[in-house]
A = this chain, B = another copy of it.
Amino acid sequence: MNEDDDRVFKALADPTRRFLLDLLFAREGRTLTELESEVEMTRFGVAKHLKVLEEAGLVVARRSGREKLHFLNPVPIRLIHDRWIDKYTERHVTALVDLKKALEDET
């Protein structure tokens, strides 16, 4: 359980991996070569990152012939949220975040 945690947070620690999650969040079911074209890096690097994300459970993959399709799994993200944001204070925090966003939009 704790090892799972560690894998998730370590996976999120790298900016390239977060960008890959962003790409999958925008459109799911992408292949390795497709993701590679969006990143300034070798295919091997991207493959390594995807493996880390997969082992952390943040990405789920499905094979289709010689291709491998990748999907984003939001559950671990939600668990991070629940760890440090109490249900009673959640309303309060969301209000704070909305306020912050509103202030930034004005500028």
Interface residues of A (CB under 8 A from B): 2, 5-6, 9-10, 12-13, 15, 18, 21-22, 25, 72, 74-75, 77-85, 89, 93-94, 96-97, 100
Copies in the complex: 2
Q: A12-B12, A13-B10, A13-B13 are in contact. Are A74 and B85 (CB under 8 A)?
A: yes
Of the A-B pairs whose beta carbons lie under 8 Å apart in the complex, a sample of 5, sorted by A's number, is: A6-B15, A75-B100, A78-B93, A78-B94, A80-B80
Given contacts A75-B96, A96-B75, contact A84 B10 (CB under 8 A): no
Contact A84 B21 (CB under 8 A): yes
Of B12, B75, B82, B100, which is within 8 A of A9 by CB?
B12
In the bound assembly, the distance between CA atoms of A82 and B80 in angstroms comes to: 12
